[in-house]
Amino acid sequence: MGWHARALHSAVMQRIYLDNNATTRPDDAVASAVDAAQRELWANPSSVHRFGQEVRQQVELARRAVAGLIGAPARGLVWTSGGTEANNLALRGALAGGGALITTAIEHAAVREPAEDLARAGVQVVDLPLASGGQVEPATLAQALAACDADAGPVLVSVMWANNETGVVQPVAELAAVVAGARQDAAAQGVRRAIWLHTDATQAVGKLPVDVGAAGVDLLTLAAHKLHGPKGVGGLYVGPGVRLRPVQRGGPQERERRGGTENVPGVIGFGVAAGQAADFVNDAARVAELEGLRDQLEQRVRAACPAVVVNGAGAPRLWNTANLGFRGLLAEAILLGLSERGVCASAGAACSSGSLEPSPVLRAMQIDEAVAHGSVRLSLSRQTTGQEVEAAADALIAVVQRLGKVMPV
């Protein structure tokens, strides 16, 4: 083994990766499937010859596996380049002709930024207030729907299933029931009104049981790289009766809902990852074990740093996410200290890292600004070990205690 290879091997072996809400390590079986597809299944799946149709068959088998993970019919799943494109297709496709968007201030930028564009184009955009802990109350959504102009066009409600920064899980099924009730009320009054619920479920799928039929959602976003799949591939579930205008044009692919040759290796890798994720979310004992590791991490830090704030602790949370606030400290300094000790963590969404402003998510939750500035996120995966959690807790405690001496509150 050469010097560079030894150095790389050493760095990888010493790394403790607790930034899994940003991305996950592709599973070995996923990486093998992607590599095999690159080498052996490189024909265009839209071709009519036998080779192309062999590839098409594998794309459709993967579609069935991913759709099955969310309890959806395969024909309802549209392949995209990732969660960002899927969110854009949901929002821009549903509201291309105008209407109203009801959402929250805690959404990922992949929803917030399209919402801002739609507002500039004349779409009415309403941000729902949050209850303590960061959840949307169904009654609040009902009030917002009642206030929408019935003649303004379709209404799209977009509320993420689980927050990428705090792990707070929204009552999606209850919100969907409110949307369904609003549709029924409109129909009873003789008003034909399109009211749909979209949820960005990129953080929930593969961590929690997700069933679009049972939940009653109309549109759902998911991404492969959040569940040990490859980057560059995602999907949008489109329910019956939902009318979307294509955002990306250039071919008849995906039932004319998203033009462009499919990312075959990514799609096949997504299918493998979906099968593994389905096994995991149905293993209650394994999920509970990993939730125990998250709790262990928080308890260790609380014992050593009693003033720490666990952001979102008052609401149901993902088993893997700990968002810890240290009053008077700076998240950037904590993260640099952790990185020096081989621990990978984050101050929030990876897409917005580098900003010195406190997280918009924590602001919307009305977290004290002195705490928000010092909040870091540690997110586990199903590959995380107890030894890694213990070592990360030791590193975080050491960093915070050292910073507390040089940056006194």
Q: Are 283 and 298 contacting, i.e. CB atoms less than 8 angstroms apart?
A: no
**Residue among 148, 305, 344, 351 flagged as catalytic:** 351
pLDDT single digits (tens) 280-323: 999 999 999 999 999 999 999 999 999 999 999 989 999 999 99
Q: What is the pTM of this model?
A: 0.93
- State the architecture of 3-18+284-406 in CATH terms: Alpha-Beta Complex (3.90)
148 is catalytic: no
What CATH code would you report for 28-280?
3.40.640.10
pLDDT single digits (tens) 225-247: 999 999 999 999 999 999 999 99
168 pLDDT more than 90: yes
Q: Are 372 and 360 contacting, i.e. CB atoms less than 8 angstroms apart?
A: no
Question: Structure tokens of 212?
Answer: 């679009």
What is the residue type of 3? W
Residue 190 has a pLDDT of 81
Residue 207 has a pLDDT of 98
- Distance, first Cα to last Cα, the chain: 49
Percent of the chain with pLDDT over 70: 94
pLDDT single digits (tens) 36-83: 999 999 999 999 999 999 999 999 999 999 999 999 999 999 999 999
Domains of the chain, by residue range, sit at 3-18+284-406, 28-280
Please give the distance of CA 287 from its chain centroid, rounded to a whole number. 18
Between vectors from CA 72 to CA 70 and to CA 75, what angle results, nearest 5°?
135
